[in-house]
Every structure is written in structure tokens, then in C-alpha cells.
A and B are shown apart, each in its own frame.
Chain A
């Protein structure tokens, strides 16, 4: 019986630095003491992001002795809970770091973040130098509530060139090729695709692409906009059916439902050659480089955008993933704190040095022309590819679980797991999901 009580307590147990007054409390990497009017900023701990973020704030503080920012770094999973609790308790930091989309919408509905539309109107230069696609997930009902920042992370189809050579196969140019490759690799005793099925969002990436390629971005947009029975769209049912056909054709590694992404077991399947291909976020490149032995340095890792589906409506240049990360300003902050935050957005975020730092971690900053910084990088080829995919995409859709509200996202991931288990039919999936549209 310990758990219900513990859960109730946990909601009250998190405390953070107060929004007004001293901002020195609680920070693992907190600033140098607090003064009145100091802005606070929480973000994620650990590589690759912590170093560029910290350095950028330090440069800002050095240049602005009168308006300092105090930072607190928090681990990924802990952050998601802590930031929600802090915002709910009116204890939010001045600058709220996040993923945009559905999470941001819930802050907006609770009236907890500043509307930045007019600020961006007055500071058009700040807006115009960033990828336009990054603003979609920052925009709620036509108003901008967050400053896009950091890097773009599209989902990419990775493949192991050595396995392709051994089997004598070519990378797929269409969905039909994928079906042929599935058969070819299975005959050769290699799993066609690696998949960390237990993590659920990994399965979701497949649906995101199939939906886009078959029906175009409008299909999911209708869900996002809360249209009634949007999942019943024929394109949606076709994509779900194709998904289950792939699973039945053994397109994914045997036992994929036991594989987890946290342990990078899906990455290992690709670089050890047990699987030929893998659909994953662009950050997978860094993991392959770090853990995959010589797969990257020897040119064994291939990458491409997901191919088109024959007869599908979607543009094969479209992509999905994280169009950026997002910074919002707490509406509960003091006017001085808000001013500091806006100054940071205008002069600190993604300055030249921060862009270089992100490129150094293998990321592509969401700044137009940041590809100039790739020259000389050992990862230039991959970075240029990501830059090209992101800037050429007609539509850069946000990952579904980030775009939807947390409530709907949980139902979505649940039903995706069942769909991949083949325990529900495409039609059942659609009805289950229709029930939470707009929630």
C-alpha cells in the first residue's frame, strides 16, 4: 500500500528555486549566488547538450553583468516531471526549456507562458535567421509561445553498408523495394530491420512515415486539429494495414518487442550486422560512432530519407522528428526577469560559438546557413545530409507523441504497442484513437 501514498507525496515533494528573489538554490550547476531580478533557467543534464547550453549562458552572463541567468541542470526523465510540477505550483523557472507541441499547449492553456508573437514581430531578425519549419511546434492557435533553439533531429533510415554488400542488395528507392529487401534479407538470414519495440515511440516513427507517404501530412494534421473520427481516413487505415503486413512478413528482428531503446540494443543490432536497416532519430549517428566500433569511421553506415510509397500522396522530401527544442518564458516571472530572458533570446541563444559547439556534438543548429560551419568536421557528410533534409523538407512534422497532449500521447503509444503485437486490428486502432481526439 506504499505506492498510492508515495505517488501523492511525490507531487508535493519537488521544490525548485523560487521564481523571484534569490536564484541560487537547488542548482547542480547553479550560478554564482543570487541577486534580485536574476532570471532562472532549467535544462537537461548530460551529453551532448549540457556543455553547449552552459557555455552559452556563461557567455551571456559575462556580457551582461547587470542581468544574470542562473542555471539548474536536471536529468531527462526527472525533468519532465519536475518542470510540470513546478509550473503547476507557480514555481517555474523564468526560462522553460521544452519540446514544444502538445506539452507547450498544456502550458498555454494553463496560462503559464508568455505570448511572444508581438516580440517576434518587433524582432523579425531573431525569427528570420532560424529554420521556418522550427516554428510549427512553437505556435499554438496562431500565436508563438516559444523561441526555437538548439538542433534539428529528423528521423532517418540508417543502413549497414557491409551487410548490403554481403547480400548484394541496394538501398530501397520505394516502399516496393523495402518489401523486396525484407524477403531478400530474411532469405540471407539477416533481420531486415532493427526495432526496439518495447520502447513504443520507436514503433511510432514507422507509422509517422507510412501515414505521411501514403496520405500526406494532412492525415495527422486532422488528428492534431481535433477533427472528429480523423483516424478513420482511408489513408490512415491503409497505413496501419501496411504496418501489420510488414510485421507479418518478418520485416523486424525476431523478438523486437523485447528490445529496448534505452539500452541501445537496437543500435547494436545494426552495427553488429544482425539487422540491415533501422529507422531512428538522427542522434543515432552519435551513438553508432561512440559504440559501434569502426562502423562510422570505415564508412559502413549509410543513411537516407524514408522512401516514397508507390501511388502515395505524400511528398518524399517530407520528414518527421524534432524540428528543434523550445524556450518559453514563464508568465509568473517578474518584469525584470522577462527582460533578461528576452535579451538572452535575442543575443545569447544560438550565437556563433553555440552553433559551433552544437556542430561539434554532431548536431545541426536550426540556423539558416549553419552548414557553412560543417567544413572540416569529420562528420561533414552526415551533417550536410541532415541540413539538406531539414531545410528542403516541404513539411517537417513533429513527432506525434510530442505533438499530442500527454493524455492522448499515452493512449497513442499504448495502442501502437498493441498494433505491433497484432492484438488489435487497424480498425480497432482507429476507433480507440478516435475516442481521445481533442483530449
Chain B
């Protein structure tokens, strides 16, 4: 996730020079330990217990793990999480790149649009979900209000449609952020590359595929990492929008964990899922770094 700052190798060189600088990481390390590592250890320990949040915490060894791993709900939740991850990535990435490239232009109206596009990111997920839920209500929503029959669907009641709505709303919320990343990325591409290509007679589309996209490689990796790892923890939006329903059609891992822990009072099982979530997230981040190439710090920027 630190690819943006890490791209400049010059900062790495600076650290090598001074002996004091490692101490600067201390506050961050302490915060990380207190708010991430210690709770993580707690979750790991709780996963070997049975606890209904009321009585005593009972050490039951692998009982919670057996219970979760043999539950057909787990592969389903994993599959739903994976699908949400993949589909929201496949939908957001092309859209973000196109919007980002468009917004990178210096024209006045594009600057204005850039500000407008940014608005969804300012809203809380819960507010967005409540709004969309109201708009999509089959009896009192947008379709019924405007008399448009094709909008009057059982949006959150049909498994397929509900899944599509989740992907759409998630994308609606996060595309602005990723467009912003791509806008920054495009603006850093040296003009000289485009000028040279123009002299060679390349058209706009050719320039997009031969210069812009390859130059955006690391921005794509950064943005994809954020999207994929971030989508593991989609909770608030799905919880308010569908509560994991209809049935269990949109019950992703994070939702499954909440339901087990706080609604069914099975803290041990919820912690097992928490551990699985962390492992999947770590594996994913590692994998993405591998795909990112052998030398993630390489750059084609001028002066780098």
C-alpha cells in the first residue's frame, strides 16, 4: 500500500544516510502494536475457545475451528467475498482509468467535474446504502415514482440482482477515489513521451495503449491492491443494504463473522473467521506484490 511513496528511490537513499531516522518509526510501531497486533493475538486466542459473551470463556481447542471449517456456510461466504472482490475490481478499474485519464486534462470544465466526481467519497457508506435502499424500493422507490417499469425490479430480493446492486453501489462509492489516483498518475507521465509519439504519427488511441497504460502500471498495482484487499472488509455497506440477503446471497466473510459473533453469540467461531480474513488479506497483498514485478521500485519517470 506504500507504493506511492516507495516509488521514489531517492527517499530510500536518504534513510541510509542518517542513524536517527529509524526512531521516527517508533510512534507508528507502537500504535500498530497496540491497535493491530495485540487485538490480533486476542482474536487468535479466542478462536481456540467457546464464548457466548455471557458466561466464562472456555478453552475448547480446535472445536470452533472444526465447527466453522465443516460449515457449508464458509465456502459460500468465501466464494461471495471472492466474487465481490473480482467483479468490483473488474468494474472499477477500467472505469477509474478512463475517468482518471479524462480528468487529467487541464481544461476548466474537467477541473469542475473532478470536484463533482469526488462527492460520493465524502459520504459515509451507511448513508449511501440507506439512500440506495430507498431509491430501489420496488413500491415507493425511483421506478415507482417516475413510472419507469424497468426500474421497478425486486432489486434487493433476487439473489443475482442484489449481488449486482452491491457491486454497483460499492463501485459508485470508490471509483472517485481510484480516478483520483489515476489522475495523479497520468499527470506524472512526461509530456515528452507524447510529443515524440505525435512526431511519429501515433493517434490518440495508440498513445493511450502504448504510453498511458504502460506508464500507469504501478498506479494500477497500487489501486488494485487497495481495491482487492479493501473489498475483503466491505461490511457496513452490505450490512445496511442487504444484511447479507436475500437468503445468504451477499453474505461475505466480514458479514458472516459479525452474524456469528454478535447475532448468534458464537465469539469463538467469529474469531476463527477473523483469523481467516487476516490470512486471506495477507496472502492477497503478498501475491499482488509478486505480480507487481521483480523490482517494484523501478520507474520510468524522468530523474528517478
Q: A255-B139, A258-B138, A265-B139 are in contact. Are A198 and B242 (CB under 8 A)?
A: yes
Residues of chain B with a CB closer than 8 A to A5's CB: 35-36, 39-40, 43
B250 CB → nearest A CB, Å: 12
Cβ < 8 Å to B, chain A residues 104-132: 106-107, 109-110, 112
A274 on interface, CB distance cutoff 8 Å: yes
Q: How distant is the Cα of A182 from the Cα of B94 in the complex, in angstroms?
A: 48
Interface size on B, residues (CB 8 A): 57
A256 contacts B157, C-beta separation under 8 Å: yes
Question: Is the CB–CB distance between A410 and B263 below 8 Å?
Answer: yes
Task: Give the one of B53, B154, B260 with max A CB within 10 A.
Answer: B53
| A405-434 CB contacts (< 8 Å) to partner B | 405-407, 409-411, 414, 417-418, 421, 423
* Chain A 175-213 residues near chain B, CB threshold 8 A: 197-198, 200
A51 on interface, CB distance cutoff 8 Å: no
Quick check: B245 and A259 within 8 Å, CB to CB? no
CB <8 Å contact, B138 and A107: no
A11 CB within 8 Å of chain B: yes
**C-alpha gap A12/B263 in the complex (Å):** 17
B55 contacts A407, C-beta separation under 8 Å: no
Q: Say yes or no for B270: interface residue by CB 8 A criterion.
A: yes
* Contact indicator B138/A254 (Cβ below 8 Å): yes
Taken together as a complex, chains A and B put the C-alpha atoms of A3 and B138 apart, in Å, by 32
| Interchain CA distance A81-B267 in the complex, whole Å | 13
5 A-B residue contacts at CB 8 Å?
A: A3-B254, A4-B277, A110-B54, A110-B56, A406-B265
Nearest CB of A to B48, in Å: 14
| Of A52-60, A84-92, A154-162, the one with at least 4 CB within 8 A of chain B | A84-92
Other-chain residue from A2, A265, A269, A417 in contact with B246 (beta carbon distance below 8 A): A417
Within 8 A of A (CB), among B240-277: 242-243, 245-248, 254, 257-267, 270-271, 273-275, 277
Does A258 contact B136, Cβ atoms closer than 8 Å?
Answer: yes
Would you give the shortest CB distance from B56 to chain A, in whole angstroms?
8
Query: Which residues on the B side are within 8 Å of A380 (C-beta)?
Result: none
Question: Which B111-138 residues have a C-beta within 8 angstroms of A?
Answer: 133-134, 136-138
- Separation of A268 and B46 alpha carbons in the complex (Å): 45
CA separation between A417 and B246, bound complex, in Å? 7
Contacts of B133 in A (CB 8 A): 260, 263
- The answer to whether A254 touches B247, judged by C-beta atoms less than 8 angstroms apart, is no
Is B229 an interface residue, CB under 8 A from the partner?
A: yes
Minimum CB–CB distance from B163 to chain A (whole Å) comes to: 13
Asked if B147 lies at the interface with its beta carbon under 8 angstroms from chain A, I say no
Query: Once the chains bind, are A255 and B138 in contact (CB under 8 Å)?
Result: yes
- Knowing A5-B39, A84-B53, A106-B52, the reply to whether A410 touches B138 (Cβ < 8 A) is no
**Contact A268 to B140, CB < 8 A, known contacts A3-B235, A5-B35, A407-B266:** yes
A256 CA to B139 CA, complexed, in Å: 9
Report whether A8 and B232 are in contact in the complex, using a CB–CB cutoff of 8 Å.
Answer: no
B155 interfacial contact with A, CB 8 Å: yes
| CA distance in complex: A112, B53 (Å) | 12
A421 touches B257 (CB 8 A): no
- Is A253 an interface position by the 8 A CB rule? yes
Task: Give the chain B neighbours of A11 by CB distance below 8 A.
Answer: 53, 267
Most chain-A Cβ atoms within 10 A of its Cβ — which of B136, B264, B281?
A: B264
B17 to chain A, nearest CB (A): 33
Instruction: Let me know if B224 is at the binding interface, CB within 8 A.
Output: no
* Cα–Cα distance between A253 and B157 once the two chains are bound (Å): 12
- Contact pick for B54, options A107, A198, A265, A421, CB 8 Å: A107
**B236 — nearest CB in chain A belongs to which residue?**
A3
Q: When each residue 241-259 of chain A gets 1 if its CB lies under 8 Å from chain B and 0 otherwise, what string results?
A: 0000000000001111111
Which residue from chain B places its CB closest to the CB of A83 in the assembled complex?
Answer: B54
Return chain B residues, CB-CB under 8 Å to A411: 264
Chain A residues contacting B35 (CB-CB under 8 Å) are 5, 9
Complex CA–CA separation, A2 to B267 (angstroms):
17
Contact present for B138 and A4 (CB under 8 Å): no
Q: Is the CB of B248 within 8 A of A7?
A: no
Chain B residue numbers with a CB within 8 Å of A3 are 233, 235, 254, 257, 274, 277
* Bound Cα distance from A409 to B266, whole angstroms: 12
The complex places the Cα of A198 from the Cα of B248 at a distance, in Å, of 11
Residue of B nearest to A106 (CB): B54
Encode B271-300 as 1/0 by CB contact (under 8 A) with A: 101110110010000000000000000000
Select A255's contact among B39, B153, B229, B258, beta carbons within 8 Å: B153
Among candidates B46, B157, B254, residue contacting A198 with C-beta atoms closer than 8 Å: B157
Contact with A87, one of B40, B46, B54, B152 (Cβ below 8 angstroms): B54
Of all chain B residues, the one with the shortest Cβ separation from A266 is B139
Bound Cα distance A108, B188 (Å): 66
Q: Indicate the member of B35, B42, B138, B242 with the most A CB atoms within 10 Å.
A: B138
> Which residue of A has the minimal Cβ distance to B155?
A258
B-chain residues with CB within 8 Å of residue A200 when the two chains form the complex: 245
Could you tell me if B274 and A8 are in contact, using CB atoms closer than 8 angstroms? yes
Nearest residue, chain A, Cβ from B266: A407
Partner of B258, one of A7, A106, A258: A7
What are the residues of chain B within 8 A of A269 when measuring CB–CB? 139
A413 to B15 alpha-carbon distance, docked (Å): 57
Quick check: is B180 within 8 A (CB to CB) of the other chain? Answer: no
What CA separation (Å) do A274 and B141 show in the bound complex?
14
Contact: A414 with B248, CB < 8 Å? Answer: yes
Residues on the A chain within 8 Å of B261, using CB: 7
> Considering the complex, which residues of chain A in the window 372-422 have a beta carbon less than 8 Å from any beta carbon of chain B?
405-407, 409-411, 414, 417-418, 421
Q: Are A110 and B266 in contact (CB under 8 A)?
A: no
Report Cα–Cα, A88/B273, bound state, in Å.
22
Contacts A4-B278, A410-B259 known; A198 to B265 CB distance under 8 Å?
Answer: no
Task: Knowing A259-B138, A421-B247, say if A407 contacts B265 (CB, 8 Å).
Answer: yes
Within A1-51, the residues touching B (CB, 8 Å) are 1-5, 7-9, 11
B266–A259 contact, CB under 8 A?
no
Residues of A within 8 A of B220 (CB): none
Chain B residues lying within 8 Å of A2, measured Cβ to Cβ, are: 233
B156 contacts the other chain (CB 8 A): yes
Interface contacts beyond A110-B55, A198-B157, A258-B154: sample of 15 additional A-B pairs, CB < 8 Å, sorted by A? A1-B229, A2-B233, A3-B233, A84-B54, A88-B53, A106-B55, A197-B157, A197-B246, A253-B139, A255-B153, A257-B157, A257-B246, A407-B264, A407-B266, A423-B247
For A414, list chain B residues within 8 Å (CB). Answer: 247-248
B145 CB, nearest partner CB in chain A, Å: 13
- The B162-213 residues at the A interface (CB cut-off 8 A) are none
Please measure, in the bound complex, the distance between the C-alpha atom of A88 and the C-alpha atom of B277, giving whole angstroms.
26
CA of A200 to CA of B244, assembled, Å: 12
A8 in contact with B137 (CB, 8 Å): no
Query: Which residues of chain A have C-beta atoms less than 8 A from B56's C-beta?
Result: 110
